[in-house]
Amino acid sequence: MAKSIERVQTGIRLEKRLLKVLKGLAEHLDLSVGDLVEGLALHAFENKPPFSSETLKKIKQLKDVYDLDLNATDSHKLKETEQ
């Protein structure tokens, strides 16, 4: 049975290439980016892997397409360029 929830609009800032990969993955999975992010967070909160090996292959392809060279070790170490 589906749980009833209330969603709110938010304005989060993400690294440009990361967002492109998330959008591509959401499209591939037929989800909205918001649904994808919700799923990622809920899996992370329970320390469960969110993706199958097939989906991880798709993520690798998308990272290559969008030149995303960031990984988990880069988290919290990113510095925004001044424009």
Q: Which of 54, 75, 74, 58 is nearest to 22 (CA)?
A: 58
- Which amino acid is present at 15? E
As a whole number of angstroms, the distance between CA 13 and CA 80 comes to 11
pLDDT of residue 82: 76
| Three-state secondary structure call for residue 77 | coil
**By the 8 A CB rule, do 50 and 39 touch?**
yes
pTM of the model: 0.90
- 44 by Cβ neighbours in 10 Å (0-12 / 13-18 / 19+) ranks as exposed
pLDDT of residue 83: 67
pLDDT of residue 9: 93
Chunked into runs of 10 residues, the chain (83 residues) has average pLDDT values of 92 95 98 96 97 97 98 92 76
pLDDT of residue 81: 86
pLDDT of residue 21: 98
